A and B are shown apart, each in its own frame.
Chain A
Amino acid sequence: MVYVEFSTISKHFGTSVAVADLDLQIEQGEFFSLLGPSGCGKSTTLRMLAGFVKPTTGQIRVNGRNVTALPPEARDIGIVFQNYAIFPHMTVFDNIAFGLVERKLPRVEIKQKVDSALAEVGMTGFEDRYERELSGGQKQRVALARVLVIEPEILLLDEPLSALDKKMREEMKYWIKNIQKSVGITTIYVTHDQSEALTMSDRIAVMDQGRVLQIGTPVEIYEQPASRFIAEFIGESNLLDGTALDVHGAVCSIDIDGTTVTGRLTQNNAAIKGQAVTLLVRPEMIRLHSLDASEKPKLNGTVREIIYQGSVVRYRIQIGHQHVMVEVANRPDLARLDLDDDVEVYWNADSGVAMP
């Protein structure tokens, strides 16, 4: 069931366009991410849903109700900010109780709800602390508790992990996802970090310059990126230039320096035949050691650089005048290569994505 719906939403600031003709449909209970580079309009989109920014055109519906003109306090939406926005003059308890006080709940009930919210985020015993007495991760937990305690219809998170250090970020990623799952709340998550989006999301909308470029599951976005921009923005990619030889449905055979390889087309496009195409292959999809003779054809290459990273070894392989990065698991059954070794490079037929 569609729960949140943006219809031809756009937002102009003066002459600059922050969001253009946005159409989004988000399901109930879904963890939906808006992913894109800085300034692409993610926050503006989120803030229009929260009611802090009035859209220039279009309509936003939540659960069938048109909320476009409603003030934030009438929307029943919880938002966690990048800086957490913990009220500095209130204790942790009063922060979490804020929304309940506004809802005029009886004292006893407030105490009960705040206590269980504190327990849920693992902050029992911190109720008398002030913001400045909390670490980044603890502020995050308080901010989330303050929002969840009012049981909003939708949870919005605007880059909630970017103020934390790397280790904390990894930890909070799974923690937030687990809480979201157990509460079952419809969640929209804004980030410019592709690994956060891939790890946590049910679906991702990739944005650039105020527009949505592709919407899909993490697997779809990673493995079938709709454009070169998306491929390069999400994960690491090898992009090989070639010429399209033949197209059969969604499969395209491509000539790369005299060797024919195949790739999947992102959209059925027979007209591509005979034209220059780019073939995308992820570094970890490429193999250098023959395990299965059926994985043909092969490209011939030479090892030009070896980067040892512990759990994986990365090789830069020269193929004709092009280069690819290859990531190989550091396992005893996979022989180590040396500089200037000649190797055969190949991948599963559907690991290559052909793009115009």
Chain B
Amino acid sequence: MTKATAVRASGLSQHQFKWLLVVPLVAFFVLFFVIPVGLLFATSFNPAKVGQVALVSDLTFDNYIRFFSRSNYLIAAGRSILLASIVSVITLIVAYPMAFVIAKTENPARNTFLLILVLASMQLDMVIRLYGMMVILGDNGLINQILQSMGLTDGPVALMYNFRGVVFGLVQFALPFMILTLVGVIMGIPPSLEEAARSLGASRRRAFMRVTLPASMPGILSGSLLVFALSISSYIVPALMGGFRVGVLPIHIYQQVAESARFQFGATIAVILFLISATAVAVYLKLGKRSSGGLA
């Protein structure tokens, strides 16, 4: 008996059968995303009580009022947005030329080799990679030794345990994601677009500026959005590279939940972080519509 007849025999139409296939995905999504986020959302409206984890029926806006009335939380939110924005821009600037070279490498062996190089940096766990970066960026690290031996600086330049260090860490973390997104999009641009521009009188540079770059805008936008979301929600990089001295929202969440055991207020910060990311998605979608003639 073939699959189709088996389906018919069990009294399901082809259409119903397709829906059946989606059930595991939906179940997974509900179980591991909708429910936890829903609980988190609900918890954020419970009064903050040290050590209390379970939901209670008592609802209040106190946590939100606390968040928006304390300047250190607002500053942290601003710092998070600034950090994620800076990381997105730097990652884009670094990644675009690399992605362009990879996308334009026609030799399949060379192309695969370059992609493997990019992917290789994702093979190691983030923590291990960050310890590797510390060796380079620390006060006695490689970069400081070079700067001093060249006489460019007197003492060590603080490259770690500050905002700058977190930016370094996040860029290195986000780079492969951005490159892979861009490579896909740039490879999807038909070469005839650039050729058409060239024979219409545009130099190589002009053709890039007027055609190839704008045509890769959907990739630039989705890559930046991805990096923004990854950076603003990252805990491990600010923790290790910032040494808990760069107070971004995930650090505060950790402190509320793990140190102060005020689960409810941690949930409130998490909800606000989530809303910032969601707003970014909305803004990018709008930009995407405009920049690509409604393509994205």
Q: Is the CB of A102 within 8 A of B199?
A: no
Tell me if A75 is interfacial: C-beta within 8 Å of chain B. yes
Question: Nearest chain-A residue to B201 (Cβ)?
Answer: A102
Please measure, in the bound complex, the distance between the C-alpha atom of A77 and the C-alpha atom of B200, giving whole angstroms: 8
8 Å CB interface, B187-205 against A:
190, 192-193, 195-204
Tell me if A72 is interfacial: C-beta within 8 Å of chain B. yes
Please measure, in the bound complex, the distance between the C-alpha atom of A71 and the C-alpha atom of B203, giving whole angstroms: 8
Question: Nearest chain-A residue to B197 (Cβ)?
Answer: A98
Which of A83, A85, A90, A150 lies at the interface centre, i.e. has the most chain B CB atoms within 10 A of its CB? Answer: A85
Tell me if B294 is interfacial: C-beta within 8 Å of chain A. yes
Mark each residue of chain B from 164 to 195: 1 if its CB lies under 8 Å from any CB of chain A, else 0: 00000000000000000000000000101101
8 Å CB interface, A238-292 against B:
none
8 Å CB interface, A315-339 against B:
none
Determine the chain A residues whose CB is within 8 A of the CB of B206 once the complex forms: 102
Q: Is the CB of B199 within 8 A of A73?
A: yes
- Indicate whether A52 sits within 8 Å of B195 (C-beta atoms), given known contacts A89-B215, A102-B202, A150-B201: yes
Q: Is the CB of B293 within 8 A of A72?
A: no
Determine the chain B residues whose CB is within 8 A of the CB of A77 once the complex forms: 199
Tell me if B109 is interfacial: C-beta within 8 Å of chain A. no
Partner of A103, one of B199, B201, B204, B291: B201
Determine the chain A residues whose CB is within 8 A of the CB of B204 once the complex forms: 71
Q: Is the CB of B196 within 8 A of A132?
A: no
Q: Is the CB of A132 within 8 A of B293?
A: yes
8 Å CB interface, A68-126 against B:
71-73, 75, 77-79, 81-83, 85, 87-91, 98-99, 102-103
Please measure, in the bound complex, the distance between the C-alpha atom of A1 and the C-alpha atom of B211, giving whole angstroms: 37
Tell me if B292 is interfacial: C-beta within 8 Å of chain A. yes
Q: Kindly provide the distance from the CB of B295 to the nearest chain A CB, expressed in whole angstroms.
A: 6
Q: Kindly provide the distance from the CB of B8 to the nearest chain A CB, expressed in whole angstroms.
A: 35
Q: Is the CB of B293 within 8 A of A78?
A: no
Please measure, in the bound complex, the distance between the C-alpha atom of A146 and the C-alpha atom of B203, giving whole angstroms: 17
Q: Is the CB of B203 within 8 A of A90?
A: no
Partner of B193, one of A78, A87, A130, A150: A87
Which of B190, B193, B196, B210 lies at the interface centre, i.e. has the most chain A CB atoms within 10 A of its CB? Answer: B196
Q: Kindly provide the distance from the CB of B222 to the nearest chain A CB, expressed in whole angstroms.
A: 15
Q: Kindly provide the distance from the CB of A32 to the nearest chain B CB, expressed in whole angstroms.
A: 18
Determine the chain B residues whose CB is within 8 A of the CB of A83 once the complex forms: 190, 192
Q: Kindly provide the distance from the CB of B190 to the nearest chain A CB, expressed in whole angstroms.
A: 6
Tell me if B78 is interfacial: C-beta within 8 Å of chain A. no
Partner of A87, one of B198, B201, B211: B211
Determine the chain B residues whose CB is within 8 A of the CB of A103 once the complex forms: 201
Tell me if A356 is interfacial: C-beta within 8 Å of chain B. no
Which of A51, A83, A87 lies at the interface centre, i.e. has the most chain B CB atoms within 10 A of its CB? Answer: A87
Q: Is the CB of A89 within 8 A of B197?
A: no
Q: Is the CB of A85 within 8 A of B195?
A: yes
Determine the chain A residues whose CB is within 8 A of the CB of B159 once the complex forms: none
Which of B201, B210, B294 lies at the interface centre, i.e. has the most chain A CB atoms within 10 A of its CB? Answer: B201
Please measure, in the bound complex, the distance between the C-alpha atom of A236 and the C-alpha atom of B292, giving whole angstroms: 48
Q: Kindly provide the distance from the CB of A71 to the nearest chain B CB, expressed in whole angstroms.
A: 7
Please measure, in the bound complex, the distance between the C-alpha atom of A46 and the C-alpha atom of B295, giving whole angstroms: 31
Tell me if B81 is interfacial: C-beta within 8 Å of chain A. no
Q: Is the CB of A81 within 8 A of B293?
A: no
Q: Is the CB of B210 within 8 A of A98?
A: yes
Q: Is the CB of B293 within 8 A of A50?
A: no
Question: Nearest chain-B residue to A89 (Cβ)?
Answer: B214
Q: Is the CB of B293 within 8 A of A130?
A: yes
Which of A82, A98, A130, A150 lies at the interface centre, i.e. has the most chain B CB atoms within 10 A of its CB? Answer: A98
Question: Nearest chain-A residue to B293 (Cβ)?
Answer: A130
**Pairs A-B, 9 closest by C-beta atoms:** A99-B200, A130-B293, A102-B201, A85-B192, A72-B198, A85-B196, A81-B192, A89-B214, A72-B199
- Interface residues of A, Cβ cutoff 8 Å to B: 50-52, 71-73, 75, 77-79, 81-83, 85, 87-91, 98-99, 102-103, 130-132, 146-147, 150
